[in-house]
């Protein structure tokens, strides 16, 4: 055997399996078996992505937190070797404005401070009655309509879309345009042209809206952001990117969580009963944390790059190597969560999940998402105790091709 062939057979980079990997047939809630096999006895390994490079994929809970909290790890997508999601994301780098998503401290701190105001615990708690009212109204409308109903269209998508539109001051009439373009933008395989077209359309829309808010300010988050443009703290394109980021992150994620939890709970009737039969807010809040842990929904891995050599998990990540943090896998790390594949709404440490990330990029909207999920799960099964799928389980179309996992539609009856 030649040296070259021997090297290929033993070199972990040459053998790195392709990422993303498919889930097992009939196991829509568990991580891909091939990823589990790859990282069964180690918290990180090499994978091969769309451009042929072999970044590290990190699945261990402790190692993810260590890396996400490490200033030697960067989210700067301009650095050579950055493991982009797809061709379209890589091609967009030169024209994508700087934002929380692609910056490190101290640049990140500047953006983040401007963004967090409307999403603090106190301000989101004040929205709870409005979230409850909208949830009740949407459920009333679904019950008054024909059976079966699509739960995504009836409840999962409109609730977070209405809330984030309201908070930002985006006209709800534009939601169809926004949803369509946002969905295209977060597909797994997007060409450079499609990505550019999607981004330009959304960016143009947001720039126009920010200009309008600067001229006629209202009591909403986009008006606050527009005021920063007037004060020259932000450029117009940074402001548009901020609004766009909040808009996309604010509806697609919570919508997927709301809908995906329904088949997961119907699969586990004794767990569903705990939720349905309790009006204790602590029980409901605990159930939300466990559902966030169990479902994860941000699948495909957050992208980073090492700025210096980093020793971790028995390996050395070299400066300039890509890092993929597969948050969902950490939520199934048996070292932290005993029997990790079991949905256990009373799990004591469920809140230690990585579903909202960790470190400086940890989710801005997590309080809003938590309140939306607490209200929906706490209301839906109590108001409709007979809720059931109106399609065989195999008929459900899961969003395997999206960065935010979920279901495309969910026919339900009662
Ligand atoms: C269940 C719902 C949600 C989940 C599972 C989720 C998950 C995440 C995760 C994992 C990150 C970290 C990304 C990284 O480290 O690269 C993140 C960041 C972010 N999320 Fe969420 N999110 C949710 C809802 C929301 C909502 C409702 C909003 C807006 C109101 C939002 C806005 C953001 C923003 C702006 C960031 C970027 C923060 C930064 O980079 O500093 N998210 N989210």
Instruction: Output the CA 298–ligand 1 centroid distance in Å.
Output: 9
**Domain-located, residue 396:** yes
246 lines ligand 1 (CB under 6 A): yes
Instruction: Output the CA 15–ligand 1 centroid distance in Å.
Output: 33
Confidence at 25, pLDDT banded by 50, 70, 90: confident
- Per-residue DSSP letters for 286-325? HHHHHHHHHH--B-S-EEEEESS-EEETTEEEPTT-EEEE
Q: What percentage of residues in the chain have a pLDDT greater than 70?
A: 95
**Domain-located, residue 196:** yes
Higher pLDDT, 125 or 198: 125
Which pLDDT score, from 0 to 100, does residue 332 have? 97
Average pLDDT taken over every residue of the chain: 92
Output the residue whose Cα is nearest ligand 1's atom 34: 364
Express each pLDDT in 335-394 by its tens digit: 999 999 999 999 999 999 999 999 999 999 999 999 999 999 999 999 999 999 999 988
355 lines ligand 1 (CB under 6 A): yes
Confidence at 88, pLDDT banded by 50, 70, 90: confident
Determine whether 372 is an active site residue.
yes
Confidence at 320, pLDDT banded by 50, 70, 90: very high
**Nearest-atom index, ligand 1, CA of 368:** 27
CA atoms of 35 and 38, how far apart (whole Å) = 5
Instruction: Spot the catalytic one: 238, 252, 289, 290.
Output: 252
Output the residue whose Cα is nearest ligand 1's atom 31: 365
Determine whether 363 is an active site residue.
yes
Q: What percentage of residues in the chain have a pLDDT greater than 90?
A: 76
Residue-range definition of the domain harbouring residue 71: 11-413
Instruction: Output the CA 366–ligand 1 centroid distance in Å.
Output: 7
Q: Which two tokens stand for residue 118?
A: 């409307």
414 lines ligand 1 (CB under 6 A): no
**Domain-located, residue 4:** no
Instruction: Spot the catalytic one: 165, 237, 254, 329.
Output: 254
Give the DSSP H or E segment for 62.
Answer: helix 61-68
Which pLDDT score, from 0 to 100, does residue 57 have? 98
CA atoms of 140 and 261, how far apart (whole Å) = 20
302 lines ligand 1 (CB under 6 A): yes
Confidence at 190, pLDDT banded by 50, 70, 90: low
Instruction: Spot the catalytic one: 236, 319, 363, 390.
Output: 363
327 lines ligand 1 (CB under 6 A): yes
Determine whether 154 is an active site residue.
no
**Domain-located, residue 306:** yes
Which pLDDT score, from 0 to 100, does residue 1 have? 41
Confidence at 6, pLDDT banded by 50, 70, 90: very low
Least confident of 95-99, 137-141, 194-198, 292-296: 194-198
Instruction: Output the CA 115–ligand 1 centroid distance in Å.
Output: 12
Q: Which two tokens stand for residue 249?
A: 């992150």
Instruction: Output the CA 362–ligand 1 centroid distance in Å.
Output: 7
Least confident of 186-190, 402-406, 407-411: 186-190
CA atoms of 58 and 62, how far apart (whole Å) = 10
**Hey, CA dihedral for 75, 77, 79, 83, is it positive or negative?**
positive
Determine whether 249 is an active site residue.
yes
Confidence at 69, pLDDT banded by 50, 70, 90: very high
The stretch 112-129 carries a mean pLDDT of 91
Instruction: Spot the catalytic one: 92, 156, 226, 249.
Output: 249
Determine whether 254 is an active site residue.
yes
Higher pLDDT, 252 or 242: 242
The stretch 309-333 carries a mean pLDDT of 97
**Domain-located, residue 107:** yes
Confidence at 8, pLDDT banded by 50, 70, 90: low
Q: Which two tokens stand for residue 289?
A: 């944390």
Instruction: Output the CA 356–ligand 1 centroid distance in Å.
Output: 6
Number of domains in the chain: 1
Query: Which of 120, 249, 403 for mutating ligand 1's site (highest number of atoms within 8 Å of CB)?
Result: 249
Q: What is the CATH number of the domain that holds 183?
A: 1.10.630.10
pLDDT at 254 over 90: yes
Which pLDDT score, from 0 to 100, does residue 187 have? 61
How many Cβ atoms are within 10 Å of 51's Cβ, its own excluded? 12
**Domain-located, residue 242:** yes
Confidence at 163, pLDDT banded by 50, 70, 90: very high
Confidence at 289, pLDDT banded by 50, 70, 90: very high
| CA angle in degrees (0–180, nearest 5) for 356-121-348 | 55
Residues in the chain: 414
Q: Which two tokens stand for residue 228?
A: 């920063």
**Domain-located, residue 311:** yes
pLDDT at 272 over 90: yes
**Domain-located, residue 1:** no
């Amino acid at each position: 055997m030649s040296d070259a062939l021997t090297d290929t057979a033993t070199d972990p980079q040459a053998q790195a399996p392709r990422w993303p990997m498919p889930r097992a047939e009939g196991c829509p809630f568990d991580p891909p078996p091939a990823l589990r096999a790859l990282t069964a006895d180690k918290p990180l390994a090499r994978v091969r992505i769309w451009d042929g490079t072999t970044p590290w994929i990190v699945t261990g809970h402790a190692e993810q937190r260590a890396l996400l909290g490490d200033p030697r790890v960067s989210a700067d997508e301009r650095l050579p070797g950055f493991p982009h999601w797809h061709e379209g994301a890589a091609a967009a780098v030169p024209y994508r404005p700087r934002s929380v998503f692609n910056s490190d401290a101290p640049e990140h701190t500047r953006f983040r401070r401007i963004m967090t105001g409307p999403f603090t615990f106190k301000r989101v708690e004040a929205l709870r009655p409005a979230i409850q009212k909208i949830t009740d109204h949407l459920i009333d409308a679904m019950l008054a309509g024909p059976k079966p109903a699509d739960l995504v269209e009836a409840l999962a998508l409109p609730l977070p879309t209405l809330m984030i539109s309201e908070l930002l001051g985006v006209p709800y009439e534009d939601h169809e345009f926004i949803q369509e373009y946002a969905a295209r933008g977060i597909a797994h395989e997007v060409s450079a042209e499609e990505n550019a077209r999607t981004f330009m359309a959304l960016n143009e829309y947001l720039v126009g809206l920010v200009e309008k808010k600067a001229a006629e300010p209202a009591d909403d988050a986009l008006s606050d952001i527009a005021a920063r443009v007037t004060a020259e703290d932000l450029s117009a394109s940074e402001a548009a990117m901020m609004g766009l980021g909040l808009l996309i992150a604010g509806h697609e994620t919570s919508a997927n969580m709301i809908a995906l939890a329904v088949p997961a709970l119907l699969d586990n009737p004794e767990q569903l009963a705990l939720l349905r039969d309790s009006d204790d807010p602590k029980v409901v809040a605990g159930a939300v944390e466990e559902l966030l842990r169990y479902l994860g929904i941000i699948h495909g891995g957050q992208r980073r790059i090492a700025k210096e050599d980093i020793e971790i998990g028995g390996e050395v990540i070299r400066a300039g190597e890509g890092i993929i943090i597969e948050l969902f896998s950490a939520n199934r790390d048996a070292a932290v969560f005993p029997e990790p594949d079991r949905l256990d709404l009373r799990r004591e440490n469920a809140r230690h999940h990585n579903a909202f990330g960790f470190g400086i990029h940890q989710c801005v909207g997590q309080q809003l998402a938590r309140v939306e999920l607490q209200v929906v799960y706490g209301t839906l099964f109590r108001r409709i105790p007979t809720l059931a799928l109106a399609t065989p389980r195999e008929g459900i179309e899961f969003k395997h091709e999206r960065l935010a996992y979920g279901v495309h539609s969910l026919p339900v009856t009662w």
